[in-house]
Amino acid sequence: MTEHLVPVPGARLHVLDDGEGPAILLLHAGIVDARAWDPLVPLLVAAGYRAIRYDARGYGLSEEEDVEFSSRADAIAVLDALGVGRVCLVGNSRGGQIAVDTAVEFPERVAALVTIGANIGGYEPEPTPEEAALFERMEALEEGDDPVATADFDVRLWVDGAGQPETRVPSELRETVRAMDLEIAVRPQVGRPIPLAPPAAEQLDRLTMPIVAIAGALDVSDIEPTARHLEAVCVDARAVVVPDVAHLVAMEAPELTAELIVELLRPLGDYA
């Protein structure tokens, strides 16, 4: 593994680079940092791929200033700094939305796309009343001054799954996510992301690359319809619903996640 600090406008992004072969860029969820990919990376490397991941601005070991920035441009800057031409983008949750946005804006750089528990900008299925109440509670906690309560809530919703018992997943996984989430909650958040315009939902015809949209069956109710929407609208997309997992599918089921990624990529050969 090699580490890099990649300079981008108003920030330096902490990047981890493992393995050799066609490149896969991993974009993490909003309640974790690049360490969330630790269970998945060795499996991708063993399958003959180069796994690249980085801490987004405001996360992990990356450094940022209070400037406007494009998350899509950050992803491309990482690829450019590491000499990568075309890549498979894999994104979880917030990272999945960034992956979709990046593929829309820079389709020539994206050989394949994998979304995991992801939304699409501009496509917003209605939450259930129970979920709407949970989201209101989440926003209130994030605007408050109790990072411990915020991290605890996030683990219950996103790791355990709404309405699921605290014993559903191993305690080690819960505590790993909680520790990362707590670091984010106490960190001053600076910077102003520039949204993709028009939103990705209005430009999905640009996504002609092979796509797998993964949804956990225990995730919130808008995730599976979003995966199904990608399958229905994009020319080469399929949705996969994984039973008995919630939002962080690659942490709960890394072997299955790796299998789905490799199955998507094998027919593409060396797509660099």
| 145 has pLDDT over 90 | no
Domains and CATH numbers, the chain: 2-125+189-268 (3.40.50.1820), 129-186 (no CATH)
pLDDT tier at 215 (50, 70, 90 boundaries)? very high
Q: State pLDDT tens for residues 23-82.
A: 999 999 999 999 999 999 999 999 999 999 999 999 999 999 999 999 999 999 999 999
Question: Distance (Å, rounded) from C-alpha 90 to C-alpha 209?
Answer: 13
Q: What is the pLDDT of residue 142?
A: 82
- % of the chain at pLDDT higher than 90: 92
| 207 has pLDDT over 90 | yes
Q: Which residues contact 8 (CB under 8 A, 6 or more apart)?
A: 69, 73, 74, 77
Give me the chain's average pLDDT, please. Answer: 96
pTM of the entire predicted model:
0.97
| 173 has pLDDT over 90 | yes
| 143 has pLDDT over 90 | no
Question: Distance (Å, rounded) from C-alpha 96 to C-alpha 200?
Answer: 12
